Chain A
Amino acid sequence: AAGVIQSPRHLIKEKRETATLKCYPIPRHDTVYWYQQGPGQDPQFLISFYEKMQSDKGSIPDRFSAQQFSDYHSELNMSSLELGDSALYFCASSSRGGQSNSPLHFGNGTRLTVT
């Protein structure tokens, strides 16, 4: 079965640089969620989109922005990177987000290292 695809798998950036992470949801899923997981930490919710509109917002820094495109893929843009941004970034998708109890399915994440 098709899963959530994230790219790149690994990304190394220097402080103050920018990064763009991409997420391709499971076909026919219209909702995407972004989570950040620091070393030894549980995943923390950042932001979500339903039908290309932001549906919820968590602890996402102002330096980060995200959007969902017409084909439902999503991109997380991160600027002025800091050492503390080093983490695993997961994307998850579901169908009819907020309107049904469809579970979230996660991708394998992008490991971002800021040096």
Chain B
Amino acid sequence: EDQVTQSPEALRLQEGESSSLNCSYTVSGLRGLFWYRQDPGKGPEFLFTLYSAGEEKEKERLKATLTKKESFLHITAPKPEDSATYLCAVSFGTSYGKLTFGQGTILTVHP
């Protein structure tokens, strides 16, 4: 069965305390793996797309990496404004825009 699993479910960090979020997937024919950030009551905000194992992308304090079975979102020296739910999603097979999401990781960064 095609699945996307994120861990941990929730993560509390002190400001400046770096950490990583995990997204593991079991799908056939991966077309893309996406990271989104979602604030309460708002739509997912696009962060990164990764297409092939070994690929890495960075944006400010965030860095996303991809292997054949999982992706990591590394957060370096987080700030309170990084607090949000981080969603991982994959597209596979013939459907590019039909995303299958993980349950998300709720990140809280304390000052």
Contact residues of A with B, CB < 8 Å? 4, 31, 33, 35, 41-45, 48, 55-56, 58, 88, 90, 92, 94, 97-98, 100-101, 103-109, 111
A104:B42 contact, CB within 8 angstroms: no
8 Å CB interface, B59-90 against A: 87
Q: List 13 A-B contacts (CB under 8 A).
A: A42-B87, A42-B101, A42-B102, A42-B103, A43-B44, A44-B101, A45-B100, A56-B95, A98-B96, A101-B96, A106-B46, A109-B42, A111-B41
Q: How far is the CA of A88 from the CA of B39 in the complex (A)?
A: 13
Q: Which residue of B lies closest to A106 (CB)?
A: B43
A103:B98 contact, CB within 8 angstroms: no
Known A-B contacts A101-B51, A103-B34; A33 and B44 likewise in contact (beta carbons under 8 Å): no
A42:B43 contact, CB within 8 angstroms: no
Q: How far is the CA of A27 from the CA of B91 in the complex (A)?
A: 23
Q: How far is the CA of A58 from the CA of B93 in the complex (A)?
A: 14
Chain A nearest CB from B7 CB (Å) reads: 14
Q: Which residue of A lies closest to B46 (CB)?
A: A103
Q: How far is the CA of A51 from the CA of B44 in the complex (A)?
A: 24
Q: How far is the CA of A108 from the CA of B97 in the complex (A)?
A: 18
Contact residues of B with A, CB < 8 Å? 31-32, 34, 36, 41-46, 49, 51, 87, 94-104
Chain A nearest CB from B90 CB (Å) reads: 12
Residues of A within 8 A of B96 (CB): 97-98, 100-101
Q: A58-B98, A90-B43 are in contact. List 10 more A-B contacts (CB 8 A).
A: A35-B99, A42-B87, A42-B102, A43-B99, A55-B97, A97-B97, A98-B96, A98-B97, A106-B46, A109-B41
Chain A nearest CB from B50 CB (Å) reads: 10
Residues of A within 8 A of B32 (CB): 101
Residues of A within 8 A of B95 (CB): 56, 98
Q: Which residue of A lies closest to B34 (CB)?
A: A103
